[in-house]
Amino acid sequence: MEKSQELYWKKVLGLIRNVLIVWFLCSYGAGIMFAGALDNIKLGGYPLGFWFAQQGSIYIFVALIFIYAKLMGKIDEEFDVAED
């Protein structure tokens, strides 16, 4: 039990880390740090960096939470720790 719980927690932290990487790259990365460079690419009338900052990152945030919830559900089942 001890061992599997440790492994479970490790997997959870791994998932959180991966989600946070995407979360960081789309908002702080594309939306702020590299916005200037991305602005040279156009998405319709949007400069891409501007789009990421004012639109894109919000869509990605929504997707990330649902992806996280789904993958967490899988991990819970795998380790049989889900609620009854």
Partner 1 sequence: MSLQAMTYLVVGLTFALYLGIAFWARAGSTKEFYVAGGGVHPVINGMATGADWMSAASFISMAGMIGYMGYGGALFLMGWTGGYVLLAMLLAPYLRKFGKYTVPDFFKSRYYSNTATVVAVICLLVASTTYIIGQMTGVGVAFSRFLGVSSEMGVIIGMAIVFVYAVFGGMKGITYTQVAQYCVLILAYTIPAIFISLQLTGNPIPQFGLGGHYTGSDMALLTKLDHIVNDLGFGKYTTAVPGSKLNMFVYTVSLMIGTAGLPHVIIRFFTVPKVKDARSSAGWALVFIALLYTTAPSVAAMARLNLHATINTEVKSGGNIFAPSASIRYDERPEWMKRWEVTGLLKFEDKNGDGRIQYYNDTSKNTEFLAKADAAGWKGSELTVNNDIMVLANPEIAKLPNWVIALVAAGGLAAALSTAAGLLLAISAAISHDLLKNMLMKDLTEKGELMAGRIAMACAIVVAGYLGMYPPDFAAGTVAIAFGLAASSIFPALMMGIFSKTMNKQGAIWGMIAGLGFTMFYVFAHTGIFYIHGTEFWQIFGKKDFFFGISPNAIGAIGALINFIVAFAVKNMTAPVPDHIAAMVESVRIPKGAGEAIDH
CA atoms lying within 13 Å on the CB side of residue 15? 19
**Phi–psi pair at 44, nearest 5 degrees:** 65, -130
Distance CA 82, CA 20 (A): 23
Binding mask 26-55 for partner 1 (x = CB under 8 A): -xx--xxx-xx--x--xxxxxx--xx-xxx
Residues at the interface with partner 1 (CB under 8 A): 5, 8-9, 12, 16, 19-20, 23, 27-28, 31-33, 35-36, 39, 42-47, 50-51, 53-55, 57-59, 61-62, 64-66, 68-69, 72-73, 76, 79, 81-84
